[in-house]
């Protein structure tokens, strides 16, 4: 279980650069990333791939070979060399930081409406528009409200707070990159709080390849049938 949760943490926030895809009719995207965690000092390197309409895979090359595939509310993580796989199942997509990051570039509301959130109010701060969202009844014991910040239609931040108003997580998007007239993030910061512990992760994205053929190992990726999958509720 500990190894599975560690694998889950390695994947958080790595889908950011691909999320512009659905919003801008992108067919394929590949991008390299480097992610650093302040809490562990660990550096993760790899590549992210998007294939329309919504397939997203991540290939981590360091510190260990790992594939991640995000589908619906499920996050599959597979270690080929160890022939181990974990499937993280969430009762709501927004509970998975991995999903929150991805949805940030899919829709102006970060997918909150589809997740059952309702818009409560708008706040204007210069060019920054902040919208306040109320969670569905099933999530109110965990989430008090969600704040979304956009600037000229582009995502700036997503913050989730608990019912007492304390921050649960915050994702910020900066240093946009323009490729083939499309905009992608160059840097993403993610803060996550569990109890009194707060972690921060910083990701950098480079070498964006737009609408180019993806490697065969990406388009043909499938979890081998003989590899057992350990399921983890999130």
The mean of the pLDDT values for the chain is 79
List, for residues 93-121, the tens digit of each pLDDT value: 554 554 445 444 545 677 788 778 899 99
Distance from the Cα of residue 192 to its chain's centroid: 13
Contact predicate 211/26, CB 8 Å: yes
Average pLDDT over residues 113-133: 88
Lowest-confidence segment of 13-22, 31-40, 106-115, 168-177 by average pLDDT: 13-22
* SS3 assignment, position 160: strand
Please state whether beta strands 182-184 and 28-37 pair in parallel, antiparallel, or not at all (unpaired): unpaired
d(CA 59, CA 207): 15
Residue 44 tokens, joined: 């993760």
Long-range Cβ contacts of 43-48 (<8 Å, 24+ apart):
44/10, 44/14, 46/14, 48/14, 48/15, 48/17, 48/18, 48/205
Q: How far apart are the first and last CA of the chain?
A: 12
Contact predicate 88/74, CB 8 Å: yes
133: confidence class by pLDDT, cuts 50, 70, 90: very high
pLDDT of 60: 92
pLDDT of 91: 57
Whole-number Cα distances in Å, 123 to 119, 126, 128, 129, 148: 12, 10, 8, 6, 10
pLDDT of 164: 93
Residue 62 tokens, joined: 């360091």
One of 2.60.120.260, 2.50.20.10, 1.20.58.1910, 2.60.40.10 is the CATH number of 2-233, namely: 2.50.20.10
d(CA 115, CA 35): 27
HSE toward the beta carbon, residue 66, CA cutoff 13 A? 22
Average pLDDT over residues 47-54: 82
d(CA 42, CA 36): 6
Please state whether beta strands 66-71 and 128-134 pair in parallel, antiparallel, or not at all (unpaired): unpaired
Lowest-confidence segment of 48-57, 64-73, 92-101, 124-133 by average pLDDT: 92-101
């Amino acid at each position: 279980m500990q190894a599975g949760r560690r694998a889950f943490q390695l994947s958080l926030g790595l889908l950011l650069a691909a999320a512009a895809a659905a919003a801008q009719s992108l067919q394929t995207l590949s991008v390299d990333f480097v992610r650093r965690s302040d809490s562990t000092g660990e550096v993760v390197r790899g590549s992210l791939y998007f294939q329309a309409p919504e397939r997203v895979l991540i290939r981590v090359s360091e510190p260990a070979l790992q594939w991640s595939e995000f589908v619906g509310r499920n996050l599959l993580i597979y270690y080929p060399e160890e022939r181990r796989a974990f499937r993280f199942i969430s009762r709501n997509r927004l509970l998975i930081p991995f999903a929150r990051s991805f949805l940030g570039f899919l829709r102006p509301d970060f997918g909150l409406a589809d997740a059952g959130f309702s818009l409560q109010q708008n706040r204007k701060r210069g060019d920054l528009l902040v919208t306040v969202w109320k969670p569905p009844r099933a999530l109110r014991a965990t989430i008090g409200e969600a704040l979304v910040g956009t600037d000229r239609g582009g995502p700036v931040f997503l913050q989730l707070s608990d019912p007492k108003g304390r921050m649960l997580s915050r994702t910020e998007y900066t240093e946009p990159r323009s490729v083939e007239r499309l905009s992608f993030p160059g840097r993403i910061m993610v803060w996550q709080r569990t109890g009194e512990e707060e972690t921060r992760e910083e990701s950098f994205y480079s070498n964006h390849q737009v609408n180019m053929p993806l490697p065969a190992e990406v388009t043909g990726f499938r979890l081998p049938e003989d590899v057992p999958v350990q399921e983890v509720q999130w």
